[in-house]
Amino acid sequence: MNFTDYLIYVKSQLNNLVKFRLIRIVLGNEACDLDSAISACVYAYFLHSTCQSKDEILHVPILNTQPSVFRLRNEIHWLLKENHSNMIFIDDIDLNYLYDKNKLEIILVDHHCLYSKFNKIVTQIIDHHPLKENSIALQDSSKIKIELVGSCCTLIAEEILTSNTNFQMTNEIAYLLTGPILFDTFNFSPSAGRTTEKDKQIYEQLLTYRTLPVDDSTLFKDLKQCASTTTGMSVQDLLQKDVKQVSGPNIRLVISSLPSEYTVEKLIGQLKTMKDIDEFLSNNDNADGVVMLSLETTNDETKRQLGFYIKKYEHMLPINEYIQRGEHNLNLRERGIPINQARIKLFEQRNVQASRKQILPLIENFAKDFAPQNSS
């Protein structure tokens, strides 16, 4: 069964899950970026292809988002071609029902923790993000693979290539895996600082399975162009395309990575009122604020901006002081903004190697420890 036939088959079984003894889902992260989506789809396909009990066990790739957000992911649509219409989303399956019937297992790719009861039924983890303290319930260390490589697809490919199975790596699967590796390492750009030796080694191995000639510098440029396409996108779309939520006992924040080449400064300049950004926060569990990140790459030069908007003015000083601490090593320099709004800050981020992967844990620690100023 090829990749397309597999995706069609799995989707056709969604109304017939009761016939299986076990539903094993491969779940990407909530940002549902290119790396996460391809990791989930390819690894689920590999597990299905090598499963000896296909009549009893169904392996299902799940995109951890909604169709309304997935429509903004032009780069995923482009790489998957017609297969983008065969995606399965988090609300397409009643996970609670399967959990209650003891028929559910979860494999996490491109993240390593679920903040819910489902964390107890995670049976495998493949991730490239820094480990969060006390976040993993899985006890079997042989089923945990966390390495700080450039792309999770590097680790997925390694799992497949080193597996002692009869799985046949094809041109299509190798092509799908090389896409996110190129995209996440910025075509192995030294200035981006996101490439490891393992990324390069696995990439070279994948090339040996590529039977059709493809110029990978062109592949990277095409993916980058798709990711930076913002035609027809509203302010809310731009903020919603790539988000992660961070919650603490007293504050909830959203981290938005803007489309490639679309700067935080440009988005702020589009704001005529705070209505769009407030509605965005309302649609994201009524969050208290948003941290915005942007990236520009021109002629192998990388530039980053960081900005934030907080609904309550009294929360501005704590996060403003925290984000600029020297130990965080972001090397921020504040810039003026093109509108008169005291609840927005904009910075040039001179440490361009600090991506969301490094900034997310900082914001998580802030949210965990944040106490309102009027607390006793």
Quick check: 376 pLDDT over 50?
no
Topology (CATH level 3) of domain 235-369:
Diaminopimelate Epimerase; Chain A, domain 1 (3.10.310)
Q: What residues pair up with 169 in beta bridges, in sequence order? A: none
Summarize pLDDT for 252-286 with one digit per residue, the tens: 999 999 998 899 999 999 887 889 999 999 999 99
Name the nearest CA neighbour of 348 among 294, 304, 316, 308.
304
Task: Show contacts of 13-18: CB within 8 Å, 24+ apart.
Answer: 13/58, 14/88, 14/92, 14/93, 17/58, 17/93, 17/98, 17/103
Q: Are 110 and 128 within 8 A, CB to CB? A: yes
pLDDT tens, 173-224?
Answer: 999 999 999 999 999 988 778 899 999 999 999 999 998 877 888 999 999 9
pTM of the full structure: 0.88
Domain spans of the chain, in order of start: 3-226, 235-369
3-226 CATH: 3.90.1640.10
Q: What is the pLDDT of residue 21?
A: 96
The torsion of the CA quartet 270, 75, 300, 212, rounded to 10 degrees, works out to: -160
Residue range 305-355, pLDDT digits in tens: 999 999 998 899 999 999 999 999 999 999 998 888 889 999 999 999 888
The answer for residues whose C-beta is within 8 angstroms of residue 338's C-beta and 6 or more apart is: 265, 268, 269
Q: Is the pLDDT of residue 375 over 50?
A: no
- Do the first three CATH levels of 3-226 and 235-369 match, i.e. the same topology? no
Does residue 240 carry a pLDDT above 70?
Answer: yes
pLDDT score, position 279 = 94
Q: Are 114 and 122 in contact (CB under 8 A)?
A: yes
